[in-house]
Every structure is written in structure tokens, then in C-alpha cells.
Chain A
């Protein structure tokens, strides 16, 4: 079945440093979504990527979808303490409504 792998599992950074999390799928994805979950909270939708090679930016966050639509990345520039949380990627495979989530990357930011 479809699997979505995410690395690293944990990332500790100093405030101001950059952060990147990577997502890889065993199969070609129809689209990929990114979510953020604060400690004790629930996942919150960040963005959806659909097109091969697509790049989207939200302020300090840059999202990429690979050319083969099998991988994606989220990059945060100059992290802030408000960026703390777990970032999940989730993808769907053609014809399925089911989102398959990666295990997430837990980001901690030291002030």
C-alpha cells in the first residue's frame, strides 16, 4: 500500500536558524498537503500542492512538490519560537480520497 516517509523525525534548532523537513512517497501522488500540529493541539492545514515541480510560499515557509510527484519539502527560513510543533505531510494517490500521513517532524526552537 501507499507509504509516506518523513524525515527527520525530530529537529532542534536555535531561533533564527533555518529548518527543512522532507517527505517521500513510495508511489506517485495526486497531491500533497502539509499540516502543522502544536503540542496538545490538532492538525491545522497549511497548504496543498498539486502540480509537478510546484513551489508555494507563505511568508517564511516554502513548500515544494517534486517533479516526479513523489517527494515534497517544507522549508522555514529564520525560525521563530512560534514555529514550534509537528509538521506533517499527507498525500493522496489517484482515485482515492484517503489522505496518507507521514509520521511528522517535530520541531523545537530554542530562544
Chain B
């Protein structure tokens, strides 16, 4: 059973370009979470999605960032017009159930290291 897959593992973008980060959850998992991690920092929650629904996007910047989890295919975190401050590791995690169905440990992917030059 493959774990959470993320690609690309490393992404370099120039200021003003778009970054697309992909996440395929573990088989059977319908809940996806995106986090951002700066060096020597903890993980900052960005967004929680279920298939075709954004459940909680309270951690997402209001502009330039968007996320989706379509019925078919991976979840996508999209960053438009990237700036140097967007440089970070972006982790995706999946879980089989939400809190109401608990327990809901999260399984993390290897992350995408985004560098904006």
C-alpha cells in the first residue's frame, strides 16, 4: 500500500511564476490536509479538503493561494505569482476519517521543497 505521494519533490520558480504542488493521498483516504513549514519552524495548517469540497481553509492566505481535491486525480495546491516569502516545504497529509469518525492520525507525504528565486 503506497504512502502519500507528493510531486515534485523540489520545485524552483522565479518570482511571478505559478507553482503547482500535487498530492495523492493513501489508498482509501478521503481527507487531505496541506501544511507549510519554514526552516526550524513547526507545521502551519493551510487547508483541509475532502473530495470536491474545501472543509477548512482558515490557514490559507487570502490571495494567490488556492487548493482543490477533484473527484478524480490528486489534490493540487496552487500558488500564483510566487514571491520569495513563499519559499518553504509544503507537506500534504491524508487521513481515513475526519474527527467525527476518529481516530484520525495523519499520514504525511515527503513534501515539496519550493524555492523562489
Give the residues in chain A near B69, CB-CB below 8 Å: none
Q: Mark A28-66, 1 if CB is under 8 A from B, else 0.
A: 001101010000011111001010000000000000000
With an 8 Å Cβ cutoff, the count of chain B residues facing the other chain is: 28
Contact A96:B103 (CB < 8 A) given known A43-B43, A43-B91, A103-B41: no
B54-68 residues at the A interface, CB under 8 angstroms: 55-56, 58-59
Distance (Å) between the CB of B96 and the closest chain A CB?
12
Give the residues in chain B near A41, CB-CB below 8 Å: 110
Of A35, A45, A99, the most chain B CB neighbours within 10 A belong to A99
A binding-site residues for B, Cβ under 8 Å? 6, 30-31, 33, 35, 41-45, 48, 50, 88, 90, 92, 96-104, 106
B binding-site residues for A, Cβ under 8 Å? 31, 33, 35, 40-45, 48, 55-56, 58-59, 91, 93, 98-99, 102-111
15 further interface pairs, Cβ-Cβ under 8 Å (given A35-B108, A50-B102, A103-B42): A30-B99, A41-B110, A42-B91, A48-B105, A50-B103, A88-B42, A88-B43, A96-B56, A96-B99, A97-B31, A98-B45, A98-B48, A99-B106, A103-B41, A104-B42
